[in-house]
Chains A and B, each alone.
Chain A
């Protein structure tokens, strides 16, 4: 089963390698991992997408909690939550493709954020499925480059992950 684990961790050198080292040492999966400081810059928030049986997920959360610098761990996929990912796509855009790309951008509520005579950079956010759908809708030979941020997530409603 796929799980999305959010955690708060001290914003210190080496903290990320403690987390990634734990996953590799114990053979846990990481589908994606995102990290950045929170509004309180002494803390970082990480979102890890992983998969495994219930027992493995239980061990993952326990092992993460055991890391001295980890402040809080929550499996946000256990209840209602929102996931978002950012993608930038550089596409070939010349001749009739320019129109087509603008149309696709509008349909997916994406933005064109860089324009040259022969290319666009399109920015798109959404959940994984939306991003996949966008890439799927483009003609492969028009895609020059893609980059995705990995997933971040947050619980819906009153549920808050805070110190």
Chain B
């Protein structure tokens, strides 16, 4: 069958069973949009800014087990997409981004809307391609999907010049990909796994530390089984929330800069630490030198060898797919006549429970002013802990992570690695499209939400009944918190003046908007909002302006040097 390059692009997406493409048209992709017009299988979601197209496709991927797809034009379309691509890259999200390019003959001529898209995106993609021949389109797109979802996942960009989309050739979608230079390890090394299991069985103060890899590899079930089998305490990072049920007794909450006292203390004083799909990053272990002061054996399982022994020296490295490796660990444990050291574990748990009794997440609620933590607690109650929750970046993000207790993976969507303000609403769009009947909440701040506020229009067009929970403190709250603590209360440019009336703004876009001022109205407003199954509701909560996120490990400090509340200052 002879097709144009543009038709081939769309056929490839059909072959990949892609339901939604998030995009924005322009000159270089006109033929692709024409091909899109002539079919029904792949639906296009017209966003209002290319950054949101990539974020929404990313959110779709995060909330499902599929690859997100975005389509943008050359030049400004591609540069607008860069923040989205970098965001997905930092969190290893499988995505394919198709960008238009000026015609091949014009490349390098400083043509209208020409940028070196492959060059600009190179450091923030898993891989990228410039397709110069129509006969290469199908094989390249096949490779792009393969690369995006295998190994350590990530965004892959395919840049296609306009003339290539007009040329014709026979279409055949390859069934398989074989690349001699790319063969990610899947199965873990048997001997290493045996060593790890041995260490786990001998441990006196064991701890499990799981990261986003658990969610990405869909290994939550295996992790839960292994953790229960061992009876060890477990923590999951910001990216790993939901990878282990938060309501379980063995769960200690999140570690790191705004993690719980018990999780940080247990990580620090463990004698055997099992790290799975996590990377010891600076927001988790704080100062690596301080972390290394306490001797402990570290087992590190990850699909990416370069994540192992990068910041922390590891004793038992295991490269492989988490699902496979954890399954093998479970198999060996079940086959072993030895059990974990029960008496040592009892002593360790006693210590862990003592740390837990500090109740570091307690906060003083108020009858007069809305506490942001209270709003998230109520959100959790009202949605039975079952909503898809997205967040932006700032204090509200930490409160959402701390107070919404995720029992299932892929329910919590946030930009952990790049920390991109503006992701919340587009992530919610992706999640809502992927899960039409489900409750989707976007927990945000008055600053972050304005970074992609134009998407309220997209939400109207595609009838997405997202609930926006705006924790409005009239400050760049996280910036203000750092200025309060580390910059002598000089609030340089962190106060937001001239905010819009968000409720009216939502109405202007054709949605429902509430403004909530009193603590006693919080729950009612949330219930009202979630009862409106077909409406996007913007809930503008006027919250305490001075509230800070605790516990806190300051940059450069060690995990045990936490500030638990303002009284510690």
Q: Mark B293-312, 1 if CB is under 8 A from A, else 0.
A: 00000000000111001100
Instruction: Verify A17–B122 contact, CB threshold 8 A.
Output: yes
Rounded to whole angstroms, the CA-CA distance of A66 and B305 in the bound complex is 8
Contact with A along B10-29 (1 / 0, CB 8 A): 00000000000000000000
A63-B306, A65-B305 given as contacts; is B180 within 8 A of A25 (CB)?
A: no
With both beta carbons as reference points, the residue of chain A lying nearest to B309 in the complex is identified as A58
A71 contacts B304, C-beta separation under 8 Å: no
Cα of A85 to Cα of B181 in the assembled complex, Å: 28
Give chain A nearest CB distance to B309 CB in angstroms.
7
Given known A13-B130, A17-B122, contact A69–B306 (CB-CB < 8 A): no
Q: What residues on B are CB-neighbors of A9 within 8 Å?
A: 181
Question: B130: which A residues are within 8 A, CB to CB?
Answer: 13-14
Q: Is there an interface contact between B123 and A68, defined as CB atoms closer than 8 Å?
A: no
Chain B nearest CB: distance from A7 CB in Å?
A: 10
Question: Contacts A13-B130, A68-B147 known; A59 to B122 CB distance under 8 Å?
Answer: no
A68-B305 contact, Cβ under 8 Å, with A10-B181, A17-B119, A163-B180? no
6 additional contacts (CB under 8 A) given A59-B310, A68-B147, A68-B179: A14-B130, A18-B122, A25-B123, A58-B309, A68-B126, A163-B180
Which secondary structure characterizes the binding site on chain A? helix
Asked whether A68 and B306 contact (CB < 8 A) given A10-B181, A17-B119, A163-B180, the answer is no
Would A71 and B181 be within 8 Å (CB), given that A13-B130, A14-B118, A17-B122 are in contact? yes
**Residues of chain B within 8 A of A62, CB atoms compared:** 305-306
B147 cross-chain contacts in A, Cβ below 8 A: 68
- Asked if A122 is at the interface (CB within 8 A of a chain B CB), the reply is no
1/0 contact string of A1-37 vs chain B (CB within 8 Å): 0000000011001100110010001000000000000
B85 shortest CB reach to chain A, Å: 15
Q: Say whether B182 faces chain A, with CB atoms less than 8 Å apart.
A: yes
A117 within 8 A of B: no
Minimum CB–CB distance for B288 against chain A, Å? 12
Asked whether A55 lies within 8 Å of B309 as measured between CB atoms, the reply is yes
In the complex, the answer to whether A68 meets B127 with C-beta atoms within 8 Å is: yes
Query: Which 7 residue pairs are nearest across A and B when measured between Cβ atoms?
Result: A62-B306, A68-B127, A71-B181, A62-B305, A68-B182, A25-B123, A63-B306
Interface size for chain B: under 10, 10 to 19, 20 to 34, or 35 or more residues? 10 to 19
Cα A76 to Cα B7 with chains together (Å): 48
CB within 8 Å of A: which B416-468 residues: none
A70 in the interface (beta carbon within 8 A): yes
How far, in whole Å, are A25 and B122 apart by their CA atoms in the complex? Answer: 11
Q: Which residues of A contact B (CB under 8 A)?
A: 9-10, 13-14, 17-18, 21, 25, 55, 58-59, 62-63, 65-66, 68-71, 163
CB distance from A137 to the nearest CB of B (A): 44
| B122 near A21: Cβ-Cβ < 8 Å | yes
- Report B320-352 CB contacts with A as 1/0, cut-off 8 Å: 000000000000000000000000000000000
B180: chain A residues at CB < 8 Å are: 71, 163
Contact A69 B309 (CB under 8 A): no
Residues of chain B with a CB closer than 8 A to A59's CB: 306, 310
Chain B residues 171-205 with CB under 8 Å of chain A are: 179-182
- Chain B residues, Cβ within 8 Å of A163: 180
Convert B117-153 into 0s and 1s, putting 1 for each residue whose CB lies closer than 8 angstroms to a CB of A: 0110011001100100000000000000001000000
Chain B proximity of A63: nearest CB distance (Å): 5
Residues of B within 8 A of A25 (CB): 123
Knowing A14-B118, A58-B309, A65-B305 are in contact, say whether A70-B123 is a contact too (CB < 8 A). no
Listed by A's residue number, 10 A-B pairs whose Cβ atoms lie within 8 Å are: A10-B181, A14-B118, A17-B119, A66-B305, A68-B179, A69-B127, A70-B181, A71-B180, A71-B181, A163-B180
Residues of B near A70 (CB, < 8 A) are 181
Of A13, A14, A66, A70, chain B has the most CB atoms within 10 Å of the CB of A66
Q: Which residue of A lies closest to B125 (CB)?
A: A68
Residues on the B chain within 8 Å of A10, using CB: 181
Residues of A within 8 Å of B182, CB to CB, are 68
Assembly CA distance A161 to B249 (angstroms): 53
List the B residue with the shortest CB-CB distance to A64. Answer: B306
Q: Are A66 and B122 in contact (CB under 8 A)?
A: no
Task: Report the bound CA distance from A70 to B304 in whole Å.
Answer: 15
Task: Write the chain A residue with the least CB distance to B305.
Answer: A62
CA distance A66 to B306 in the complex (A): 8
Smallest Cβ-Cβ distance to B308: which chain A residue: A62
- Nearest chain B residue, comparing its CB with the CB of A10: B181
Bound complex: CA A55 to CA B306 (Å): 11
B123 near A66: Cβ-Cβ < 8 Å: no
CB A23 to nearest CB in B, in angstroms, measures: 12
Residues in B whose Cβ lies below 8 Å from that of A14? 118, 122, 130
Most buried by A among B118, B181, B182: B181
- Report chain A residues within 8 Å CB of B305: 62, 65-66
B320: shortest Cβ distance to chain A, in Å?
15
Q: How far is the CA of A141 from the CA of B412 in the complex (A)?
A: 70
Q: From residue 205 to 250 of chain B, which have CB atoms closer than 8 A to chain A?
A: none
Closest-by-CB residue of A relative to B143 is A68
Residues of B within 8 A of A71 (CB): 180-181
Interface residues of B in 388-416 (CB under 8 A from A): none
